[in-house]
Chain A
Amino acid sequence: GQNIDQPTEMTATEGAIVQINCTYQTSGFNGLFWYQQHAGEAPTFLSYNVLDGLEEKGRFSSFLSRSKGYSYLLLKELQMKDSASYLCAVRWGSTLGRLYFGRGTQLTVWP
């Protein structure tokens, strides 16, 4: 299985940059996802990393270090609408079907 660790809560102000970290067990790792979930809604896909390095997509970037079992999601130019829970998920094992989610990081953006 997997033990995924991410901070429970973070706060930031509009226009700022925030980095949400995620650590996981490296054994069996097969890819890492970041999802955004607004209160009362379904998760929506943000990014996917399977190789080391930074993936940039507009205001959002995601970084992966496979050897360290570490990823982060970087959100730039924060907006109020970015207030949400951010979920780190690891695809585990050779079948590719197993997905383990962290407990989520609740980000609150203040004006």
Chain B
Amino acid sequence: AQTVTQSQPEMSVQEAETVTLSCTYDTSESDYYLFWYKQPPSRQMILVIRQEAYKQQNATENRFSVNFQKAAKSFSLKISDSQLGDAAMYFCAYRSPHGQNFVFGPGTRLSVLP
């Protein structure tokens, strides 16, 4: 079974600075899909960015980008120009193309300091 690990329970970043959140996963599949979700204090789950494993190019969405290292099974999220509204729990998630379930990591709580 696949597993997702987020080794940083908490992180903090100064406003306007850059921060990277780590995610590693374990799978024997060659094709799969990876996602980062943000959960602010309102507890809504908001999709931040997605990456398809067969694409070598790292996904980017405005200030959010990923560093996808398939061989290392690593999928880190970089937030540039951090804003106070970025403060949230961030979850990394894995989806197999063959299964119906998503495997979530335990989350990283990000604080943004003014």
Q: Do A and B come from one complex?
A: no
Taking beta carbons and an 8 Å cutoff, which residues of A are in contact with B? Answer: none
